[in-house]
Structures are given as structure tokens and as C-alpha cells.
Structure 1
């Protein structure tokens, strides 16, 4: 896989929207409630709770991108088929480029189009937060932790209504 030099990638990030996979693990708690897994991470907004994911690489399928980001961040491979379809498409904008409508997320680094998924994990006990994930925890909607990545609440609400 070929990677772009940092300066060229930064220029691309400032110039065009990027395709990303955004996802949250979901499970049913022993009491029957739906729970959503989030990571705690450092961000341009300080330390925040947020969904998982990242960009799709050239030549990479959505399934491969989901698997890569899940393994890199939680140390486990998600339970997905080879052609997963997003539950929602959410848009992220830098504040200066953000439209007034529809509701969107804020990302100081880039404009991205998040193909958003809910996924299952094979064994929650095997989760080992790593790389960007400082911590991982399960939350029961609508009791979201604070602080959340700006716009993350809207994404989580839309995903939990669809899963």
C-alpha cells in the first residue's frame, strides 16, 4: 500500500471531502437494553468520547476498512459480512465550511463523508483499547458520556434509531 507524503495529504485534506467509515459497536446488555461502545481519545477538542473509524484507503473495501480500524483501535475483528452497507451517511465539516442545514458533525481537520455503521464484536472481554483509544466503555442511550466529539450526539442518536 502506498502512502502519500504528509504535506501532500494535508493539502488533499484541506481541498476535498474524504470517504470514511464511522462505526459504533452495539450489544444487548443482560437487562435487555441496547448499549453502544465508544472510545475516549485526545482530539482537537480535548479529551472526548466518540465513535470509531477513519478514512477508507485506496483499493480498500468498506469491510476491510471496518476490520482495519476495529483491529487497530480495539484489538478485535468485528462480526461483519463482506459487503456491509451503512446504516446512515453523516457529514463532517470544519467549522468555517459547515452548512447551516442539515445537522452535521464538526471536524477541525477535514471535510469527510462518514459511511456510518453499527457492528457487533465477537467477544467484548477481548477488547484492548489501543492507538488512538485511551479507553473504551459501553453506554445505554440516551445516557451519552460527556464530553462528546462535536456533532457526535446526533450521529449516535441516528444510529441507535436504526440498529
Structure 2
């Protein structure tokens, strides 16, 4: 895996889209679908959002999802060998956001291309690193303070 110095990575983020995995733990409780979200500090304040992050050079998509899940919740997700995204969603900073009607999420830090997955978890998630908290929410009762664009992403993934 290649780790870049912070100043170089910041220049890269300003210059090109970043490939990311975005994922949402899903479970059924009493016949109702629930999705797992983390609470985190963000440029939008303290918000609930999906999990994920960038894919590192030499990482498969499955390895990237596992790494982010273990780092954020302390659990290995249940994944097939070659997971396929439920949706591909783009995140833009306001300075380069499209004005042509493209549906996108708001990320003031970077332009990201999010390969978006649903995953299953086994065990008890323990929020760590960026996650201040973790909770499952019924899809029809999501918290109001969602990262801008998450609600649309969940709908596009068939979770709304």
C-alpha cells in the first residue's frame, strides 16, 4: 500500500477525482430494513453518514471495504470475493459542482467517485477512528442531520 505525505495528497485531491468505496451496513429487524450509519465530525458539522473512504493503490475493492470497516467499526464485513456496487455516486466540492442537473453529493474536501455497496455485518460494531457513534436506523426514519447527499444516495441504492 502506498501512503502519501499529507501535502502531496492534498494537491492530488485538488487536481483529480479520488476513487472511493462507500458502504452501508444493512439488516432486517422484525421485517423492517435498517441501515447502519456513523456519526462523525465533518465540514458540515456533526452528521450521520455512510462508511467508506479512498481505495489505495494495489487494493482490491473488497480489501478497501474490509479495511475501512475494520478501521471504523472493528468488524470484518461479510463480502463476496468481487463485490459489485449497488450504485456509483459522485461527490463534488462547490467550486467544481456540475450545473447540468447531475445528481451528486456535497463534499467540500474533494471530488470523489464513490462505488456504493450494501454490506452485512456479524458481531457488535464498535465505533472508532472517525466514527463518534454507530447506529442502525429504519430506512423510513433516518436522522435529519445526514451528510448532504446521503439521503439521495440511499434512495438511489434502493434503501430509501
Length-normalised TM-score, structure 1 = 0.94
The number of aligned residues is 159
In the other structure, the counterpart of 2:41 is 42
Are residue 28 (structure 1) and residue 28 (structure 2) matched?
yes
In the other structure, the counterpart of 1:76 is 75
* Counterparts of 2:141 and 2:127, CA distance in 1: 21
Measure how far apart 1:146 and its partner are. Answer: 1.9
In the other structure, the counterpart of 2:55 is 56
The structure 1 segments of at least 4 consecutive aligned residues displaced by more than 3 Å after TM superposition are none
* Counterparts of 2:120 and 2:159, CA distance in 1: 16
Length-normalised TM-score, structure 2 = 0.96
Are residue 65 (structure 1) and residue 56 (structure 2) matched?
no
In the other structure, the counterpart of 2:14 is 14
Aligned pair partner of 2:129 in 128, 131, 151: 131
In the other structure, the counterpart of 1:87 is 86
> Unaligned stretches of 5+ in structure 2?
none
User: For residues 44-102 of structure 1, what are the alpha-carbon distances to aligned partners after superposition, in whole Å with 9 as ceiling and x for unaligned?
Assistant: 11100000000000000000000000000000000001100000000000012111322
* Counterparts of 2:112 and 2:31, CA distance in 1: 34
Measure how far apart 1:142 and its partner are. Answer: 2.3
Q: Secondary structure of 1:160's match?
A: coil
In the other structure, the counterpart of 2:154 is 156
* Counterparts of 2:159 and 2:34, CA distance in 1: 12
| Cα RMSD for the two superposed structures | 1.1
Higher strand share: 2
Measure how far apart 1:161 and its partner are. Answer: 4.4
